[in-house]
Copies of this chain bind each other. A is one copy, B any other.
Amino acid sequence: MRPRSTNSITIKDVARLAGASVATVSGVINRKGTASAGMRRRVEAAMSALDYQPDILARGLKTGRSRVIGMLVPDVSNPFFIEAMSGVEETARSRGYSVILSNSNEDPAQEQANLGVLHSHRVDGVVLASVSGQAAFDRATRRRFPIVFIDRLPPGRFAGKAVIIDNADAGYRAARHLIGLGHTRIAVIAGHVELSLGRDRVAGFRRAMREARLTLRDSYHHEGDFLPANGYAAGRALFELAEPPTAIFSCGNGITLGLMRALTEAGKACPRDVSILSFDDVPMANYFHPQMSTVAQPAREMGREAMRILFAALEPDASEAKPARGNLTVLQAELRIRESTARPG
């Protein structure tokens, strides 16, 4: 066995240099306030002289807490998850935690495996954007670390904690905006309708249509996943219609990308020929043309909130304990109207 690198300095080295015992050193590290001022100063001097860093692994072995939390997302290149991750990381670090980022590649098996790895690392908690809701949740439950779901709710009965947005409302308001502009031929490109988030967006959308006594023709309704390919295929089909829609609601940023390409290839212009309302506000997209009108999810805030909930479970005694809300934290999406939506030609 290869020993730990020999020049790694331990609490013993600090104790020796400071002329104290390891317990004393440990005490000042953890601010137990049980050491005299003089002693504390000597210990602190020794620590910085040696450039000592406590071994969190060893500490974790003793305390049962690793000070690491895991974040597991389906797609690390999706700006939405990046933004959420950024919120998680920022909040975690402010409390002295680190984040292991894990990618499930939209693959349930991968998700299972990664959950196992996170367990192996004894993460104190996990923020999970799940691919395969139910299964993951069952296993996760057994594994016994707190999980906060984000963005996607596991199907079926769900008793865990989650931070999501009100997708039905978001879909509803999206439709209202388009309808208010005067559109009647409105299409929707949905993502995974097996996921509640996918279903809800469409449901809210349909409700607004119904209220306005508008019908959503079958040919104006596409389903699939959240990837550009889906948006592209749907866009092509839509633009080839004898009577194409004058407005399209795209349920995800990936879908929108594919849709934009289809639009270009069809020789159409947005919003002149067709209005496009997208989900997810991708900062970068606002530098290009047309600047997208979007239903913006507070991604970073979702990450922060998920961490707050996790901490509440991890450190129930922490001062800023939140009043115990329900298990579901529902954030509101926000309509951001820019250039891509306009009155019908």
Residues of chain A having any CB pair with chain B under 8 Å = 1-5, 7-8, 51, 53-58, 60-66, 68, 76-77, 79, 82-83, 85-86, 89-90, 93, 98-103, 114, 116-122, 142-144, 228, 256-258, 260-261, 264, 282-285, 287-289
The answer to whether A77 touches B66, judged by C-beta atoms less than 8 angstroms apart, is no
Query: Which of B7, B79, B257, B287 makes the CB contact (< 8 A) with A228?
Result: B287
Q: How far is the CA of A51 from the CA of B142 in the complex (A)?
A: 9
The answer to whether B257 touches A63, judged by C-beta atoms less than 8 angstroms apart, is no
The answer to whether A284 touches B257, judged by C-beta atoms less than 8 angstroms apart, is yes
Q: How far is the CA of A287 from the CA of B51 in the complex (A)?
A: 49
The answer to whether A260 touches B282, judged by C-beta atoms less than 8 angstroms apart, is no
The answer to whether A144 touches B8, judged by C-beta atoms less than 8 angstroms apart, is yes
Nearest chain-B residue to A90 (Cβ)?
Answer: B103
Q: With A86-B103, A99-B101, A288-B288 in contact, do A53 and B120 touch (Cβ < 8 Å)?
A: yes
Q: How far is the CA of A337 from the CA of B264 in the complex (A)?
A: 18
**Chain B CB within 10 Å, residue with most, of A4, A66, A283:** A4
Q: How far is the CA of A61 from the CA of B103 in the complex (A)?
A: 26
**Chain B CB within 10 Å, residue with most, of A7, A77, A288:** A288
Number of this chain's copies in the assembly equals 2
- Residues from chain B with a CB closer than 8 A to the CB of A257 are 284, 287
- Residues from chain B with a CB closer than 8 A to the CB of A68 are 100, 121
- Other 18 A-B pairs with CB < 8 A, given A53-B116, A98-B100, A284-B284: A5-B64, A8-B144, A53-B119, A53-B120, A54-B120, A55-B122, A56-B122, A57-B57, A57-B121, A57-B122, A77-B83, A82-B82, A90-B103, A93-B117, A98-B118, A101-B101, A256-B287, A261-B287
- Residues from chain B with a CB closer than 8 A to the CB of A101 are 85, 89, 99-101
27 A-B pairs with CB atoms under 8 Å apart are: A1-B63, A2-B65, A4-B64, A8-B144, A53-B116, A56-B121, A57-B57, A68-B100, A76-B85, A76-B86, A77-B83, A79-B284, A89-B103, A93-B114, A93-B117, A98-B117, A98-B118, A98-B121, A99-B100, A99-B101, A101-B101, A257-B284, A258-B287, A261-B287, A264-B289, A282-B284, A288-B289
**Chain B CB within 10 Å, residue with most, of A7, A101, A119:** A101
- Residues from chain B with a CB closer than 8 A to the CB of A82 are 76-77, 82
- Residues from chain B with a CB closer than 8 A to the CB of A228 are 287
Q: How far is the CA of A258 from the CA of B284 in the complex (A)?
A: 10
**Chain B CB within 10 Å, residue with most, of A2, A54, A121, A142:** A121
Query: Which of B1, B55, B256, B284 makes the CB contact (< 8 A) with A285?
Result: B284
Q: How far is the CA of A311 from the CA of B5 in the complex (A)?
A: 16
Kindly provide the distance from the CB of A318 to the nearest chain B CB, expressed in whole angstroms.
Answer: 14
Nearest chain-B residue to A81 (Cβ)?
Answer: B82
- Residues from chain B with a CB closer than 8 A to the CB of A63 are 1-2, 4
The answer to whether A56 touches B120, judged by C-beta atoms less than 8 angstroms apart, is yes
- Residues from chain B with a CB closer than 8 A to the CB of A119 are 53
